[in-house]
Each structure stands twice: as C-alpha cells, then as structure tokens.
Structure 1
Amino acid sequence: MPSNASKKEKETAQTTGHENISAIKIQHRGLMTLLSDMGFRGNASEKTFHDYIKSLRKLGVPVSSAEAPRNGHMIVYSYENVVDLALALSLRVYHVIPDTVLRELVHARPVLHRLYRQAYHERSTGLGSPVRVGSGSATVVVQGVYLDLKLDHVAGRLVSFGPPTVLTPLEAVRTLTDANIASRAFRPFPLSTLCEQIVSRSRQAMSADVGEEIRPARESH
C-alpha cells in the first residue's frame, strides 16, 4: 500500500542534494576516498585495494584505460562509472567477483547506465515511491528503486544473467519473498541507496582530487 507522504514532501526529497549528476567527475584519489568511505576497502591495505581496482579496470570495469576520458594523465570517472564500480564491488563473493559476471556487467553497461540515472532521480518518487509493508503496528516503509540483474552464479558457474531491470519497492519485496527464487544467490539490489550514497559523497571526493591534479605526473591511474 502506498505511503501517505504528501506531494510536497516527495518533491522536497527529490530535489535534495547534488542533482546534477552529469557534473560528477572524479579522479583516482577521490575515487579511492569515496569507495573507502563507503566501506568497500574493508581491512585491506591501500595498496591491495588500489591493485584490485586496477585489476578490474583491465577487465573493463568501470572503464578500460584506452576508453577512459582524461584530465591530463589522470582518468576521469563519471557518475555512471563510479556506480559501475561500486555495483561490481557489492557483488563480490569472498572478496572477488567472477570474471564471467564482470563480462556481463560490461556487456549490459548501456542499459545499466540508464537505470543508474533513473534510480537516483526516482529514489523517493515515481518508481521509488515509498510503500508500507506489513500490517497494523508491524509495518516498515520501503522506498527507492531496486535493481534485479537476474543473476545466478552457482558452484563457480554463471547460470543466468539479465536482462537487468528495475523494480519498485513492493516488487522488490515480492521478489525477495518468492519461494520460487529462494535459491538465487543474488537478490534485488537497493540501487537508489547506492546511488544516493555516491552522489552525497561526490563533492568530498572531487575535493580530494584537487591535490592530485597538482602533483607531478607519474603513473596513469
């Protein structure tokens, strides 16, 4: 059942924060800061985490070195690039993500990028409008767009992937409780939440890049 949030409240939530996601341009230092702040680095050393991110880029996630736009010698990552990388890191099992899954993410990139933009802009309205789940006093409000990659990876083998689609909060809850897919390892993912966290940290990340720009040129990240 839809929540009773007023139209004005929804519009306020929709326009809060850094709306111009196309203005997000993050370089290496800012990217590492953002991902670490979101908890993706965990207990790994800075060098270990850097090397892992570099290994993902060799496989085209979030973008290959040859394709990447640059500011001088530094790769510049867009909003969509950062979400690509954060999503891949979120799908890790035992600290790594299978190459077969990475290849599917790269192949689905045009569709995923459109869904990333929708997930942020409709994080509290439209597809992501809040719903109340439960009955009586035992209710919880769920909101935001969810991503269903239709991904199933079993015993080291990719069983199925895609096409990626987005779900309303109610559709996500129904999918999560569907007994027919109980064995699926990867369930609908709270995409709006991830996107909102990235956008909210983007200014700090871009500020961290200022020092990077004035350092002497060395290895291209």
Structure 2
Amino acid sequence: MRAGHDGPMSDAPSSAHVVRYTEADAAGRLHSEICLRNGPPLIAALAPWLSGASGAALEIGSGTGQHAAALSLAFPALALHASDPDETHRRSAGAWAQTLRVPPRPVFELDAARTWSDRPDISALGPLAAILAINVIHIAPAAVLAGIVRGAAARLGPSGLLIFYGPFRQEGIPLGPGNAAFDARLRESDPAWGLRAVGEIDALAAEGRLARGALIEMPAQNHLLIYRKAR
C-alpha cells in the first residue's frame, strides 16, 4: 500500500489513494510522483536516526518500491528489504532496486495484519535495525497497525527503530481542513480506514516496550513518528 500528496506546507490533503500510481512500465516499475516529492525531505529527516544504523531493515507496504530503493542508497549500511502483499507492487520494488543498482535482496510477500514476525524468512534476517511503514496505516484497517507494532516488538533488536510516516491525529490539535476532508473520504471509502491517533499508537507501542523517540513535522501536514525499542 502506498499513498501520499506531499508538497509545501498547506491545507491540501496530505495523502491520496494508490490510484495515483502509473501503469507499470516495461521493466515492471510503478511510478509515483508523490514518492519523488517526499523522498528528499524524508531522507533528510531520517538521517539523524539512520545514518549510524547497520544491519537488516524492513519496509512494510512498500507500494512502488521507490522509497525502499532510495532509502537503500541513502543509508547503505542498512540492508533494507521491501515488502508488500500485492504481487505487482513487489515486482515494482524489485525493478526499482535493479534500476538504482541497489544490492539485490528478497522482496517479501507480507500482510501485516497477519502474524509475520516468526516466519522463517523474516526470522532469518536476524534482529532488525529498523522497521518502516510509509503512508500505510491510514489506508489500512486497525489490524495492520496492530500487526506492525506487534511484529516490531518481536523482531527489532535492542534500540531498533519503528518508523511511521504519514498524516496523524494528535490530541488537542484539530485536523487542518485538508486532512479532515481526506480523513472523511477515507472513512467513506472504507470505515476501517482513517487517520490514526498518535496516542493510540503510543499505547500499542508501550505494550511492546517501544518508547516514542520523536514526532517530527514534515511537509503537507505529515509527520514522522519514531519509536525505539528498549535495550
């Protein structure tokens, strides 16, 4: 899954649905202009957190795979694996890795709403340095969020990072008009979707001994929400 509508800070909706993907090209690559726009600020904001990290990492819901490939280039000490439940998305992620000459790595078929942390192929990666979900949890049922956090609690190594990116609800801070309208459209499309509350994620994370490390404002009413596993 992937969605996004990043750009300058504004009241424009921060995200839109996967229909923004182009048709796959001859190499199997899906294209998202949103990934091109939000990639540089995302890498810049993650640099203080990931520049010193090494080991295996996992992106959940990689969509086109553009982010996974770009992050692999930006943080080469991380062996970042893409994953997605959709075969077309997985093929695109592999094609983007090849295009950008990222070291070849398996792209996992992974539905985060199901138990995934004890799968042999995931366990074989060892303790993970980071797990990322970029523009995923608002276009997925709550079971996906819960599954991501549960899996992170099980698979992250000591001081490993769980990183969410997208639009969120924050207690005491009204949604901007754009995100409020977007949230309403999501819920109309599927009642199980919608912007997740930071407090809800904090509570799930705490159950897995994951402490919030940062909530970082990003362009177009998005945020990075970062948790660190206890040592």
TM-score by length of 2: 0.28
TM-score by length of 1: 0.28
Larger Rg over CA atoms: 1
